[in-house]
Amino acid sequence: MPSAFIIRVTSPADAEAVTALLTASYPVLMATAYDEAVLGAALPAMTRSNPALLSSGTFYVAEQDDGELAGCGGWTRERPGTGEVVPGLGHVRHFATRPEWIGRGVGRALYRRCEEDARAAGVSRFECYASLNAEGFYQALGFATVARIDIPMGARTAFPAMLMRRDLT
């Protein structure tokens, strides 16, 4: 297995590779925190790459030296689901790491890139909707848990998550 990776900005050409990464990551890593019914309803939407994120200039991949993706993640000014923009607030979005790369610095490197670029763009606070299995990851990065929330996933599914915040100043 390759041991090196670089962080780079995505483009729409990364759609297939990001979808493959999400499909390899989310079902495995989320199985410890969610039952099969919730995952069965939510994963079809969650494992598709988001074209708007891929072309945003603020979504990144950790690309291995062999070209395969080890992780992805980014940030936006727009709040997921509503598009609301609050001055100074950024939203951490769609983070995933291949299970075999967990604990090797991929998520932390992606987050550092997000924070550096967001600060340079005038963002002073981050917010994220963390899956239940990812709460510890975000806490280790300095995020505080604000509340448990339910994210609507279609007409009949609510995906339990944690609203988390971090001051960047």
Residue 54: CATH number of its domain: 3.40.630.30
Q: Is 169 domain-assigned? A: no
Average predicted confidence (pLDDT) for the chain:
95
Among 31, 27, 72, smallest CA distance to 54 is for: 72
Q: What is the pLDDT of residues 112-144, one digit of tens each?
A: 999 999 999 999 999 999 999 999 999 999 999
Distance CA 61, CA 12 (A): 12
Tell me how many domains the chain contains.
Answer: 1
The predicted pLDDT at position 3 comes to: 67
pLDDT confidence of residue 2? 52
Query: How many whole angstroms separate alpha carbon 150 and alpha carbon 120?
Result: 31
Within-domain flag for 96: yes
SS (H, E, C) 97-142: ECHHHCCCCHHHHHHHHHHHHHHHCCCCEEEEEEEHHHHHHHHHCC
Backbone angles phi, psi at 36, to 5 degrees: -60, -35
Confidence (pTM) = 0.94
114 located within any domain? yes
Residue 44 has pLDDT above 70, yes or no: yes
146 lies in some domain: no
Q: Is residue 160 part of a domain?
A: no
Q: Which domain holds residue 75?
A: 5-125
The three-class DSSP label of residue 52 is helix
Tell me the per-residue pLDDT of 63-112, one tens digit each, with 9 for 90 and over.
999 999 999 999 999 999 899 999 999 999 999 999 999 999 999 999 99
